[in-house]
A and B are shown apart, each in its own frame.
Chain A
Amino acid sequence: MNLLEIENLSFAYENLRRKSPNYVLNNINLHIKEGENVGLIGENGAGKSTFLKILTGLLDMQEGKVQLSSLELKKENLRKIRTEIGYVFQDSDSQLFMSTVYEDVAFAPRNYGKDESGVQEAVTSALRQVHMEDKKDRQIYRLSGGEKKLAAIATVLAVGTRLMLLDEPSAALDPKNRRNLIRILNELPCAKLIASHDLDFVYDTCQRVILLSGGEIAADGDAEKILTDRELLEGHGLELPLSFSRERGYMGLGTENSHRFFENRNCEYFPCHKEAGVLNCMFCYCPLYLKEKCPGIPSYIEKNGRRIKDCSNCTFPHQPENYDTIIRILKE
């Protein structure tokens, strides 16, 4: 079932009645299904942020029709629509304006008339989803950049959002926080529309990608297909994600992409991780996944300056003499 349907959407910052308006968005048609994760990519000025702001009603739509479930995007429906669509701003500092995490996450439920016990429930649930229950009384200014981003996501989740719009969510995050954000976004059940220049991030979080160029949809389809199409990306001012870059000579060894690579191909070499329900392959650096779900991992093993995890439960014979074989498999 389609959650969001957009028909013939056009937008210009000037009057559309002018002879030749400068369209920021021109005749956009698309739909997003319930629970679907969609990446919105495009070079600077392609209209990504404008598109997101139109969907939230922060910019007035000029032409076309936007429908969320049974609700049409109109001024009189905005209040209801904003409980269904949440917007995570690029700058978390501007999004978080109360003194503590709790107060900020509670802001929306209170505005929508929940009583205090309902507010508490909503805040607890939202913070649980982003793994920040222990930081609810923390002052906003004492949060790190990554925590601020998660708190901003929690503020949106607190009203039971069905479609989350994220504007450059990985901007200014260090690799660890970025990976943590990827994990959390992948855990959230709601649909997501992620506008980003970080194509690796988009690949790790989205099954579908929409490429915007010159205010029009230049491509819409499977993430892997679009993100590996060098010609298409370079033709629209983008570049291949680093993990697909041929110059690097390997496929994101130790990255989120490598575990997806194995998962997609039903890799037979890492059964214990699969049994534990872990998405990562044993080459993923992220300790969070493995520590949580596969306690049999005692430590890292260093090989040629690369950290490889050792798992005592793993039936794959990953003794040092087999490392070269593993790396060869990955390269292939």
Chain B
Amino acid sequence: MDRISEAIADLHKMDMEAGKGGLLQGIHPLPKLLVTLFFVLLTVSFGKYELSRLLRMGIYLIVLFVIGDISVKLLLKRMKLLLVLVCLVGIANPFFDREIMFFVGKAAVTGGMVSAATLMLKGIFAVSASYLLMVTTSMEDICYALRKLHVPKMFVTILMLIYRYIILFLKEIRQMTDAYLLRAPGQKGVHYKAWGTMVGRLLLRSMDRAQTVYESMMMRGYDGEFYLRCKRKAGGRDYLYAAVWSVVLIGIRAI
């Protein structure tokens, strides 16, 4: 399978995982979103040298990976690009902050190294928490929860449409590259001379596609807002989930 098809299949799989009936999937999206936001907020609140304390926040992720039966390997595969970018954020710190903090054996560990590691870890934790939310909650449910939190409808609509449109966009790219490669035997990838034309065509085709989707929405009464509903109301189990994690996370942060 080529990379584009793989990306499409991955998005579909994530949708499917979010829709299946697991322990985490069964929890109402609002508490899940709140806990995730709370986790990210607490994670980024750690000081730049608080690496060892930050590590404890990993408990949340480990527990969710275990009870949700979610593959870490898949996370690494799907998020590899993002994780690499996140890791690059603090890469320059060791060059600026050279104050020695402690020694590991004979090797000196500088403040820059610790702060770089802390930054990377914060990024990795935040990405992982978002990933966990996405594989256990459908995009409709996430958007529903965001609207419940009074996030502006324009933002939610854009988020929703981008997510849906990515798949159509990838399909267009696949169709165009397939058509190109079938007529360019032995060529590895698309020749750079064709990039301009292909991007132009892709833009036009994407606009056409977007227009059809928009017309389809208009035909069904779309007036600028997705009226999203959740299949069920939040119950005791959902409140308990939010309460337990809030206490645990505050506890970890405070110690």
Contacts and interface: CB of A to CB of B under 8 A. Distances in A.
Interface string B12-27: 1001100100000000
Contacts of B209: 94
Given A97-B161, A110-B227, A111-B222, 13 more contacts: A58-B219, A82-B219, A83-B221, A91-B212, A93-B168, A93-B171, A97-B164, A97-B217, A108-B220, A111-B227, A137-B19, A142-B12, A159-B221
A97 B216 contact: yes
Q: B140, B164, B220, B223: which has the most chain A beta carbons within 10 Å? A: B220
A77 to B, nearest CB: 13
Interface of B: 12, 15-16, 19, 138-140, 161, 164, 167-168, 171, 209, 212-213, 215-223, 227, 229
24 contacts: A53-B215, A56-B219, A58-B219, A79-B221, A79-B223, A82-B219, A83-B221, A87-B216, A89-B212, A89-B216, A91-B212, A93-B171, A94-B168, A94-B213, A95-B213, A99-B140, A100-B138, A103-B140, A108-B220, A111-B222, A116-B229, A119-B229, A139-B15, A139-B16
B212 A94 contact: yes
Given A94-B216, A99-B138, A139-B15, A82 B221 contact: yes
A107 B220 contact: yes
B226 to A, nearest CB: 8
Contacts of B19: 99-100, 137, 139
A112 interface: yes
Interface string A100-124: 1001001110111000100100000
Contacts of A99: 15, 19, 138-140
Chain B contact residues, majority secondary structure: helix
B215 to A, nearest CB: 5
Chain A interface residue bracket vs B = 20 to 34
Contacts of A58: 215, 218-219
- 4 closest Cβ contacts across the A-B interface? A111-B221, A108-B220, A94-B212, A110-B227
Nearest to B171: A93
A86 interface: yes
A82 B168 contact: no
